[in-house]
């Protein structure tokens, strides 16, 4: 008799209907055409007892389809057993059976690292799913620096992760940030196209260098506070580590509160003294994401309002134009 405790659990099926153009084509070909399914994921589905079915019957990837066939994919349920669940207040922006989008506060690491096993976003999410009775593996599609706040997307299963990662690689995901910087950028609407690499003396620090990876940042100045500071909306063309922080410093406008990449002339300025105590981290917030839903294909437009410290900073900077 089978032990119920060892029975494989599955997520809810993801279904597609074969169209006229799919007639006579193999299931493998149609899934590659329809959703760009990877070879690795196809192997996982093929070897899973309930992974692939057509009209309710288990099939192999070379099964020939007819118009109207109902294709069903079922991923085996997984969990991140090495991530300890930890009660935590979460700001959930969107959730369905395929993905979870959160507004991460500043000061929180996304995923556990060596020597840092608790107090991460992953710990809080695992506890949240555990309380809901969901068996899900933590799969962040992208990450934010510890002291950057804003939107983070977590895939709930391997298909969603693959689809979203493919969009990231294709550059079709729009990632926008709001930041407050010292000074005034050289253009009101500009782009920074300079390579970024590790600094030789400090491998954790990134700098603009000729032999670095190609890096592209678009920015738009939305408000200026005299010549002392600016509010800037930033859109990433690439996703390098610390990219926005490095690029803004490169054009002479380091992010307010960013002690790691700031410049001495700004650190010693009157403005730095004015905002001291208002914000204790880089004033950088991932405020907007636009992407296609990994299963339905619907356009997703998600936003996260500015956190309290950046709102207070904005108010303080606004006084500069009134004085």
User: Three-state DSSP class for 135?
Assistant: coil
User: Three-state DSSP class for 187?
Assistant: coil
Catalytic annotation present for 91: no
Other C-beta atoms closer than 10 Å to the C-beta of 256 total 26
Between the alpha carbon of residue 217 and those of residues 189, 230, 311, the distances in Å are 11, 17, 24
Bridge partner list, 194 = none
Catalytic residue among 22, 69, 145, 258: 145
Q: Which of 155, 153, 82, 154 is nearest to 117 (CA)?
A: 82
Residue 234 CB-density burial (10 A; 0-12 exposed, 13-18 middle, 19+ buried): buried
CA distance 183 to 80: 44
Burial 169-183 (b: 16+ CB within 10 A, else e): eeeebebbbbbbbbb
> Could you write out the DSSP letters of every residue in 222-236?
EEEETTTEEEEEEEE
Cα 29 to the center of its chain, rounded Å:
29
CA distance 193 to 70: 47
Between the alpha carbon of residue 148 and those of residues 65, 177, 180, 245, 281, the distances in Å are 48, 10, 12, 10, 8
Burial 276-315 (b: 16+ CB within 10 A, else e): eebbebbbbbbbbbebbbbbeeeebeeebebbebbeebbe
Q: Which DSSP category does 200 fall into?
A: S
> Active-site residue numbers?
145
């Amino acid at each position: 008799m089978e032990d119920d405790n060892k029975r494989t659990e599955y997520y809810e099926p993801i279904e597609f209907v074969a169209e006229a153009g799919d007639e006579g084509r193999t299931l493998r070909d149609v899934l590659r055409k329809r959703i760009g399914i990877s070879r690795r994921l196809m192997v996982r589905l093929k070897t899973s007892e309930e992974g692939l079915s057509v009209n309710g019957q288990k099939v192999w990837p070379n099964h020939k389809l007819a118009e109207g066939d109902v294709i069903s994919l079922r991923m085996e349920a997984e969990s991140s057993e090495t991530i300890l669940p930890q009660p935590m207040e979460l700001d959930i922006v969107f959730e369905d059976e395929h993905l979870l989008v959160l507004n991460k506060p500043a000061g929180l690491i996304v995923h556990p690292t060596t020597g840092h096993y608790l107090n991460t976003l992953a710990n809080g999410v695992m506890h949240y799913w555990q309380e809901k009775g969901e068996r899900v593996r933590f799969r962040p599609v992208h990450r934010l620096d510890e002291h950057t706040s804003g939107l983070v997307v977590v895939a709930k299963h391997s298909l969603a992760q693959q689809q979203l990662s493919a969009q990231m690689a294709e550059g079709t995901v729009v990632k926008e940030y709001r930041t407050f910087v010292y000074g005034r950028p050289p253009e009101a609407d500009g782009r920074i196209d300079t390579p970024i690499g590790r600094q030789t003396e400090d491998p954790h620090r990134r700098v603009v260098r000729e032999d670095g990876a190609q890096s592209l940042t678009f920015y738009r100045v939305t408000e200026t506070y005299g010549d002392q500071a600016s509010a800037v909306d930033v859109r990433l063309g690439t996703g390098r580590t610390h990219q926005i922080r490095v690029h803004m410093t490169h054009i002479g406008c380091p992010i307010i509160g960013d002690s790691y990449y700031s410049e001495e002339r700004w650190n010693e300025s009157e403005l730095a003294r004015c905002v001291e105590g208002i914000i204790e981290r880089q004033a950088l917030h991932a405020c907007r994401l636009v992407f296609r839903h990994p299963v339905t294909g619907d356009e997703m437009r998600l936003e996260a309002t500015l956190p309290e410290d950046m709102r207070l900073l904005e108010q303080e900077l606004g006084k500069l134009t009134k004085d």
